[in-house]
Amino acid sequence: MDNDVSAGSTSASASTLGHLALGLTLLAFGLGHTGVFDGITAASAATVAMFVGGITLFVAGLLEFRGGDSFNGTAFVGLGAFWFTWGAASGDTALSGDAAGLFLLLWALLALSLTLGAAGGGLLPQVMYGLLFVSLLLLGIAQFAELGTLAKVAGWVAALSGLLAWYGATAAWAKWPTALPGRAAGRGVTATG
């Protein structure tokens, strides 16, 4: 291994790894809640959540902290803790719906903080974390109220957030755009021929 790797390139790699892990975990978690695939439930995503979402995100977060990126470090370590805990608890049949709802609502607060903190990083991460917040909020409410339909909607929102995370990581490698095109310089500006 090259000891001359700069902190910046380590952080860029860790960021890509973190967003890929988050994207894959959110896709598995979200699609599991939608019921779109026969025999696949949210509990089916527990292993992915523990190892890809939990451990991989946690390690990527530590690498982000090492590289000097406190926002992605906090996001990945925090979400890694969430996914590992959710994956470990999803097999616990003694967990009540109210306890699961409270767990999801508390972690929705982290997602809300990440949404607000991503404001300076562009629209893609802000929308991605915003969708994660909405999905956790809806899932928490669905657990409290025992609303399977709301849980399915939340699953689609989580899957969409996962697609955005995956796109952001893939775009970094492929040099695809991650920002929406800007509008003209100001009010009243017209194109002339």
- Cα–Cα distance for residue pair 113/172, rounded to 1 Å: 24
Distances (CA, A) of 101 to 95, 141, 147, 170: 10, 6, 11, 33
- The whole-angstrom separation of Cα 170 and Cα 179 is 14
Q: What is the pLDDT of residue 91?
A: 67
Identify the CA nearest to 62 among candidates 130, 13, 127.
Answer: 13
pLDDT of residue 59: 96
Please check whether the domain covering 7-174 is classified as CATH 3.40.50.300: no
pLDDT along the chain (193 residues), means of 10: 40 85 94 88 84 93 95 96 90 78 96 95 93 97 94 96 94 80 49 43
Question: Which candidate, 180, 176, 140, 177, places its Cα nearest to that of 158?
Answer: 140
Q: Give the length of the chain.
A: 193
Question: Are the C-beta atoms of 136 and 111 separated by less than 8 Å?
Answer: yes
Distance (Å, rounded) from C-alpha 124 to C-alpha 165?
A: 8
